[in-house]
Structure 1
Amino acid sequence: MADYVNLVKLCVGAEKVEDLTSWQAARYGKANPVHVTRMWPKRAEEVLNGGSLYWVFKGVILARQRIVGLEESPGADGITRCAIVLDPEVVRTEAMPRRPFQGWRYLDPKDSPRDLPKGRTTEDALPRELLTALAEIGLR
C-alpha cells in the first residue's frame, strides 16, 4: 500500500494538455505553478509524501503534476485558501475517463492512470468518446 495519495481536479477552461502547459508557462515562466483551491486537504501529509495532481480534460484524465507544497493563500475577500504548489513538469498519462465533479478529490495511487513513456503525448488505445461512454456505464 502506498504511503501517499494523489488529488484529481478538472482542468476548467482547457480542452487539451497543451492549453494547460501554455497557460502555466505564460503565467509562471520557469517558476513552480500554483493552483489555488478553497479547501485544504485533510490528508496533507500524505499528499506531500509523493502525491500528484491529476488533471481531467473534457472528462478524461490526461496528465499529472507532482505536488511539491501546500501554502496558505489569503484572498482579497479575507478568506484563506490552499495554494497547491506544483512541479513545472507536466507528465502525460494514460487516458482515464472521469465523471464531472466540483473541487478536487483524492485519488488512490492504485486507481491512478500510468504515465506514458517520455516523449509520447497520446496513447493509441481507444478514442476519447468511447472511453467516456465506457466510464458512463461503469466499465472503465
Structure 2
Amino acid sequence: MEETERRDELYKFAANNYLFQLPNGQGNLDGALIGNATRFVNHSSENPNLSTTYRNMLNGNSHILFIAEMDMKAGTEVTIDYGYPKECEKVMFTYNHEKKAQKYIDEYDEECQEIEKEQRKKNRKRFAQRIKASPPRKTRRVC
C-alpha cells in the first residue's frame, strides 16, 4: 500500500486521479499512465449502471470485470459508484454535472476563483516536478 499512498499524494496536485481500489482490500490499480477507456468511467452513487468484480483467471492473470447492470444505448454515460462516503460526495463531485458546476462556481466570488486558478497552476507544476524526480517504475498492462 505504500506505493498507492505515494501516488495518491502525488495525484492531489494533479487535475485527474485514476486510482481504482480493488474490492476487499486486494490492492489498487493506477490507470494514469497505462490503461484503457474504463479509466473514464464516471461516478454516480445514485444510479450507477456498472458494477465491478475481481477475478483470477485460469492463465494466472488477474482481471477487473466491468459488468453492465442494464441494457444501454450507444452514447449512454457509463457510471460506477466509487464507494465514497455520502458526506464527501457533495464536495468531491459537484463539478461532474453542469447544473451542480454552475451552483459550485456561483458560490465563489471572482477573487476566490482567481486564487484557486493560481493554486491549481502551482500544484500542476509541483506535480510535474515530483513525477520527474520519481524513480521509474516497472508497470504491467493488465487489460
Give the TM-score band, short-chain normalised. under 0.3
Q: TM-score, normalised by structure 1?
A: 0.27
| Greater relative contact order structure (CA < 8 Å, 6+ sep) | 1
Q: TM-score, normalised by structure 2?
A: 0.27
Mark the structure with the bigger radius of gyration. Answer: 2
